[in-house]
Structure 1
C-alpha cells in the first residue's frame, strides 16, 4: 500500500533519512516532498554512496517527474560514476523543464571541461553567468578552463572578477598566485596581494601568497615578515611555518629554520618532507648525527624520499665513510636516476675510493643531465688529468666551454692542460680569452699549475690585462 507522508520544509533532515530507510526495510512506498528527497539524496552523497543516492533520485523522479532539481542531481551522480552520456541526457531533460536554472549549465560546463572540450565548457559557463544570482564560483570555473588552455592571462582576469565578488574565496587567492607564478610575474603578484591586504588586512591567505611571491624573488626577509603575519592571523597555519623555514634556510639561519620546521608538528602530523628539511639544516650545521637521524625518519615515513636517502649518503661521506655512502646514493638514484647532484656525489665517492672507472662513468651521467655544472666539468677533467689522460682532459674542457662559454675558470683550466700537452700557441690563445672574460680569476691557473708562475710569457700576457 502507499502511505502518504509529507514533510514541510522545516522537517529534520535526519528524520527524513530514517523514514526513507524504514520504507525500504518495510518494502513499502511513502510520499516525500521535494525538500525531504533532497535531504535524503545529500545524505547518501555525503556518505560516498552514489548507488543508493541514484536509487533515491529515481524514486524522487517517480513522485516529482517535473522537478528539474532531481535531474540535475541525477546528472551529478552519473558523472561521478563515469556515466557521462547519461549525465548529458539528464541535463537535457532538466533544461527542457527549467531552462533558466543556472546549475544545469554549470554542471554541463564542468563535464565539457573534464572532457577538454574547452569552447563548449566556456559557452555553458557564460550561460550560467547570465542566470545565476551569485557568480563568483562560476567565474572561478571559467578561470580553470583558461588555465587548462594555458591562457593564464585570461584566467587572471576571471579570478580577479571572482574575488571582487567574494574576497573570502581562498581558492581564488591561491589560483591567482599559481597563474602569476606560471607567467613569472611576481612583481604583479606582489602588487595585487598588497592591494588586497589593504582591503582585507586579516586575510591569512593573502599574506601567505604575498610571502611566497617575495620568496620567489629572493626577498627572503620580506617573505619571513609576511609569513609571520599569516601565522599571526592563523596560528595553526602549518604551510606558513614550513615555508618560513625554507626562507630562513636561504638566509643560512639553519638553527632558526629547525625550530620553525618543528613548530609545524604542533598543527599537523610530522611528514617526510619536513623531516628531510630538518635533516638538511643539521647537515648544513655539520651536525651529521642529528642530520642522519632526521633523514632516517623521513625515509621511514616515505621510502620514496630520494633527497632523504641522498642526505644519509652525504652525512656518511662527510665522515669519510665513502663505501657506505655509495649504498645510499644508489638508493636515491633508484628513485631519481636523472638527478645530476646525486650522480656528482656518486662520482666523488668512487673517486675517493680509488674506483676511477666507476667515477668516470658517474661523471658522464652528471654532465649528461646537467652540462651547465662548471664544477663537475672541472672535477671530471681533473680525474682524467690525474690518470695521465691529458688529451681527454683537454677535450673534456673544450666540451665544457662549448656548454658554458662565459665561465672563465674553464678557459684557465684549458690553458693548463694545453701547456701540459706542449701546445703553447693554443694555450696562449685560451689564456687571452680567459683574461678578457674575467681577468681577476687568473690565480686559478697558478693554483692548478704553480710552475707557470715562472713562465715569463704567461706573466707578460697577464700583466697586459690586470694593470
Structure 2
C-alpha cells in the first residue's frame, strides 16, 4: 500500500514525479525541463527521502549542466545527510555557474555557523544580503550567529532590521524577546513591543512577548491584560493561557489560575508541567486531595517531575502524615539533589518524627545549597538547642550571621543563646546590634525565651533604643 502525503503539488508536478518514476522502472532516459526536476526533487524532500532527492539532482545536473539551482539543492541535501565536504564542493560548482545566486552564500553560511566558524558564516550571509531581494530571513540568520557568539546587542540590531521588512515574522519577535531577556533589558523590550503593536495591533506574538516582559518585571496585572489581548487575537494560544495562569498565581489568584491552566487542555494535550501547576494551586487553596490528584497525574505523565513528587509529599505533610511524606521527598531529591526546598521539607519531617540526627543532616544540606535561608539557620539552631548542644547552636547562628549580616532575627536569637550560656556581656553587644538593625523585632527575643522579659539589663538596653 502506497503512503499518502498531504502536500499541495500541482497536476503538472504530480505528472512529472510519475513520469520520473516510470523512467526508473523502465531503466530509460527521459528529458525533463529544469522546473519539472525542481518539482521532483521537492517531492522527495517532502517525503523525507534525501537519498532519492540527491539521485534526482544528479539526473538534473546531467541534463541541465549550467543551472546553478541543482548544485545548490545538492548542497542542501548533503548538509541534511551530514556530508559537509560534498556540500562545499556543490556550492563551489554553483558559484562558478552563477556567482550572484544568494542561496549559495546562505547555505554556506549555515554550514559555517553549525561548525562554529562564525566569522566565515557572517561573511557569507553578508554576501547573500548584497544579492538578495528579500533579506528578512538572512538578517535573522545573522542575528542567530551573533546569539551564538553571545553578542546579543548585535543580534537585536539585525532582528529589528528583519522585522522592519517582515512584521509577520513570529520567529523574529520571539528571538528578540530572548535577547532582551538575556540582557535583562525588559524596559527596552516593553518599549519595542508597544511601538510594534502601534503598527500591528493584531500581532498575537507581540502581545504575548509584551506580556512576558511585564511578567519578568513583576507587573502581573499588566501582564495578564497583555496575555488577554494575545488570547483575543488567537483564541487557541495555549502558551498564553499557561503564562496567564502563572501570572495569576503570582497574585495569589489560585482558583482563577486553575481555570486558565485547564483552558490549555482545549488547545493542546495536557502535559506534566500544567498538571503540576494545577496541583500547586490546589495545594495553596489547601484542597489537598485535589492537589495530590494532579501531582499524581503529573508524575504519571513524566516520572522525572521532581516538583510534583515533592508536591505529593507536601500534601501528606499537611495532613500530618510525616512518615509517608518522606518517601516522596526522597523521590524529589533523587531527581534534584541540590534543591534546598526539598531538603528543608525533609528536615522538618524528620524533626516532627523525632528523628533528630537525620533532621540535622538534612538541615546541613539545606544550608550547603542555600546559605542565605535565614529560616533554615534558625530551625537548625533550634534543633541543636533542644538537643542540649548550646555551644553548637550559638556557633551555627554565628555562621548564619556571616552569610546574612542584615538579618535582625539572627542577632536576637544569638542573644538568647548567649544568655543561656551565661555570656551576658557578649549577649548585650549582640542585642545592641540587633536593635540597630531592626528595633521593632525585639519581641522575637521574648518569644523564644520568655524569661528574658524579667532581665533588667536587657530591658534597659531595649528601652534606650525604643525611646
TM interval, short-chain normalised: over 0.9
Question: 4+ runs of 1 displaced by more than 6 Å?
Answer: none
Secondary structure of residue in 1 paired with 2:133: coil
Matches within 5 A, 1:322-337: 322-337=322-337
The answer to whether 1:206 aligns with 2:206 is yes
1:95 CA drift (Å):
0.9
Q: In 1, Cα distance between the equivalents of 2:166 and 2:419? A: 71
Structural mapping, 1:246-285, within 5 Å: 246-285=246-285
Range with bigger deviation, 344-353 or 286-295: 344-353
Name the counterpart of 1:67. Answer: 67
In the TM superposition, 1:18-167 aligns within 5 A as: 18-167=18-167
Alignment RMSD, CA only? 1.2
Cα contact 1:374–1:410 (8 A) shared by 2 = yes
Give the deviation of 1:266 after TM superposition.
0.6
Could you say what secondary structure the match of 1:236 adopts?
Answer: coil
Report the equivalent of 1:195.
Answer: 195
Residue in 2 aligned with 1:239? 239
Partner of 2:381: 381
- Work out the CA distance in 2 between the residues paired with 1:28 and 1:180: 58
Partner of 2:343 in structure 1? 343
Gapped runs of 5+ residues in structure 1? 1-8
Q: Which residue of 1 aligns with 2:409?
A: 409
Q: Distance in 2 between matches of 1:447 and 1:255?
A: 36
Residue 314 of structure 1 deviates from its aligned partner by 0.5
State the Cα distance separating 1:12 from its structure 2 match: 2.0
SS in 2 for 1:434: helix
Q: Give the whole-Å Cα distance in 2 for the aligned partners of 1:154 and 1:299.
A: 42
* Residues 269-303 of structure 1: CA deviation (Å, up to 9, x unaligned): 11111100000000000000000000001111111
Residue 222 of structure 1: aligned partner? 222
Instruction: Tell me which moved more, 83-92 or 143-152.
Output: 83-92
The whole-number CA distance in structure 2 between the counterparts of 1:422 and 1:18 is 98
Following superposition of structure 1 onto structure 2, how do residues 428-467 of structure 1 map, counting pairs within 5 Å? 428-467=428-467
d(CA) in 1 for partners of 2:449, 2:348: 22
What is the distance in 2 between the residues matched to 1:228 and 1:11?
44
Whether the aligned pair in 2 keeps the contact of 1:177 and 1:209 (CA below 8 Å) is: yes
Q: 1:26, CA displacement in angstroms?
A: 2.2
Q: How far 1:438 moved relative to its partner?
A: 1.0
d(CA) in 1 for partners of 2:389, 2:310? 31
TM-score (norm: length of structure 1): 0.97
| 1:451 to 1:75, Cα distance in 2 relative to 1, 3 A | same
SS in 1 for 2:399: helix
How many Å separate the matches in 1 of 2:382 and 2:96? 78
Aligned residue for 1:207, secondary structure, equals: helix
Q: Please give the TM-score of this superposition, normalised by the length of structure 2.
A: 0.97
Shift, 1:10, TM fit: 7.6
Look up the SS of the partner of 1:30 in the other structure.
coil
1:301 corresponds to 2:301: yes
1:19 Cα deviation from its structure 2 partner: 1.6
5+ residue gaps, structure 2, are 1-8
Per-residue displacement from partner, 1:27-75 (whole Å, max 9, x unpaired)? 2221111111111111111121111111111221121222111111111
Alignment correspondent of 1:4: none
Show CA shifts across 1:358-384 (max 9, x none).
111111111111111111111111111
- Does the C-alpha gap of structure 1 residues 15 and 445 become closer, same or farther in structure 2, counting only changes over 3 Å? same
Q: Which moved more, 1:9-18 or 1:409-418?
A: 9-18
1:91-150 CA-partner distances (Å, limit 9, x unpaired): 111111111010011111111111111111111111111000010111111111111111
Work out whether residues 66 and 97 of structure 1, in 8 Å CA contact, stay in contact via their aligned partners in 2. Answer: yes
Distance 2:11 2:294 in 1: 55
CA distance in structure 1 between the aligned counterparts of 2:120 and 2:339, rounded to whole angstroms? 42
Aligned twin of 2:3: none
CA positional deviation for 1:11: 6.0
User: In 1, distance between residues paired with 2:352 and 2:19?
Assistant: 77
The alpha-carbon deviation at position 25 of structure 1 amounts to 2.1
SS in 2 for 1:12: helix
Q: What SS does the aligned partner of 1:444 have?
A: helix
Q: 2 CA distance for matches of 1:394 and 1:48?
A: 69
On the 8 A contact 1:11/1:36 being kept in 2, the answer is: no
Q: CA deviation at 1:466?
A: 1.9
Question: What SS does the corresponding residue of 1:189 show, helix, strand or coil?
Answer: helix
